[in-house]
Amino acid sequence: NVPRRGVVVILSRSHADRNVYPSAGVLFVHVLEREHFKGEFPPYPKAGDSSNDPITFNTNLMGYPDRPGWLRYIQRTSHSDGVLYGSPTAEHVGKATVIEITAYNRRTFETARHNLVINIMSTEEFPLPYQAEFFIKNLNVEEMLASEVLGDFLGAVKNVWQPERLNAINITSALDRGGRVPLPINNLKEGVYVMVGADVQFSSCLREVESPHNQLRCSQEMEPVISCDKKFRAQFSIDWCKINLVDVTKVVTIRSNRPDPGPGVLPDMGEYNPPSEALKSRDYFADFLITLAVPMAVAMVLFTILGYSMCCRREGVDKRNMQTPDVQLMHHSSIQKSTKELRSMSKNREISWPLSTLPVFSQSGEVVPPLHPDNYETTSMPLMQTQTNLQNQIQIPQQQLSGQSCLNI
C-alpha cells in the first residue's frame, strides 16, 4: 500500500511472475510497461528501433479465455502501456488468481509471456459505509488511472468531505456504462466514473445536489450550483447531476417472493451427470433396412407395374388396322398420298420473285439489276386504254330495230 495524503491506493509495476496483494474493496491498478517487455525480444539491427516497436498485450485467467469479472484491461494504442484495474470483492478473498500476460511485438511477430499472481487480502474497512460516485467529463479512464491524477482527485474529495479514511473503490469508463464515443474535435474525452468510499457522513457540499433547486436545474439540463465545485474545477470537470451518494448501512436487500413454477418449468434436477463411457454399441442394421430397403422395394414394384402397363399392354399398328374398317383405311391412305404429292410438287416449282420485293439500291448506292430479267414476264396491257388501243378492240354493231328508219332533219 502506498499512502498519499492519507489515501489508500494500491499500485504495482509489471515484473515477471510476481505476486501482488490487493485488498478487497480497494481499487487495484497494475501497469504493463512496454519498456519492461522489450528486453524479452531479441536485439534489433539498428539502435533505437526497439523504442518504437508496437507492442500489445493479451491478458486472461490461466486456463480460461478471459479475465475475471472484476478485472478490466485497457490499452489505448500499441505504443502506450497497458493497465489492469478493478476492485476485488470479499468473495475473492483467499483465492490466488493467476493472470497470464502475453506481449505481442507487432513488428517481429514474437511473443513473451509472464504470470501475475493476484492474492486478494481481506480488510476490516470493507465495505466503507458511505460511497460517492463522481462522473468526470474531461478525462479518459487511462488518464485517471495514473497515480498522480488519481491522488490529486482523492485529495480534492478529502478536502471537501473531511473523512478519516478515504479509499478509491472502483473506476469505470463511460463507454462501459452506455456512453458514446465523442467526436474527435476540441479534444473531447469519453469521461470516467470514479467511486470513493469514506467512514463519515456526506458533507453538506455533496448534499447540495439533492436540494430541490438543483434538482430542477438538472431536469432542465442546467448545471447545478455547488459551492465546492471550484475546488475541482481547476483540474476536474465534474457533472454534479450524475453524482450518486449511497449509504450502505441503509441499503436493504429486498427478496422477491417467487411464485411456484408453472407446469412449463422443469424442476431443479441438480448437477448434470453425463452418461458413463462404458456404453454398449448399437446395431443400426435394422434401421438401415427400414430406412432404405423398404422404400426401394416399394419403388421397384411400382416401376414393374408401370413398365408392364406401357410396354406389354400396347395394341400395335397391325392390331389397330385389323379393327379399323376398310373404307376408313382407304380414305386415310388417299389423304396421305394426296398430301405427299402436294408437298413434292411444291418443292419442284420455281417461282420468280416480283420486282416490288427486290432491292433497288445496294449498300454501296449502286443500282442492282433484277435477279431474273429474262424470265420475268410483264403484261403488255396498260392500266389505262388510249386511242391506239381502242381501235384494236372488237366493235360490237348496234342492232337497229326493224320497221324504223332514219329521219333526216
H/E stretch holding 231 reads helix 230-233
Are the beta carbons of 247 and 199 closer than 8 angstroms?
no
**Three cell numbers written together for 220:** 432542465
Each of the 409 residues of the chain gets a pLDDT tens digit; together they read 434 444 444 444 444 578 888 888 889 999 988 888 877 777 666 655 556 788 899 999 998 888 988 999 999 888 889 999 998 888 888 888 899 999 998 888 888 888 999 998 887 766 788 999 999 998 999 999 888 999 999 999 999 998 888 889 999 999 888 888 887 778 888 899 999 999 889 988 889 988 999 999 999 989 899 888 888 888 899 999 999 998 888 765 545 556 666 666 666 666 777 777 777 788 888 888 889 988 999 999 999 999 888 887 776 777 777 878 888 888 888 998 999 888 888 877 666 655 655 565 555 555 555 554 454 444 444 544 444 444 554 454 444 444 444 334 3
Residues 135 and 119 occupy one common structural domain = no
| Alpha-carbon gap, residue 16 to 189, rounded angstroms | 33
| Alpha-carbon gap, residue 385 to 213, rounded angstroms | 120
Q: What total number of domains does the chain contain? A: 2
| Alpha-carbon gap, residue 95 to 232, rounded angstroms | 38
18-20/110-119 β-pairing: parallel
Are the beta carbons of 17 and 114 closer than 8 angstroms?
yes
- Exposed e or buried b for every residue in 75-103, given b needs 16+ CB within 10 A? beebeebbbbbbbbeeebbeeebebbbeb
Residues 38 and 100 occupy one common structural domain = yes
The range of the structural domain enclosing residue 131 comes to 127-252
Residue 194: closest CA among 171, 211, 176, 175 = 171
Residues 12 and 105 occupy one common structural domain = yes
| Alpha-carbon gap, residue 10 to 233, rounded angstroms | 26
Show which of 123, 141, 171 is a domain's final residue: 123
Residues 186 and 245 occupy one common structural domain = yes
Residue with cell 400396347: 314
Residue 267 maps to a domain: no
Residue 140 maps to a domain: yes
Show which of 252, 277, 304 is a domain's final residue: 252
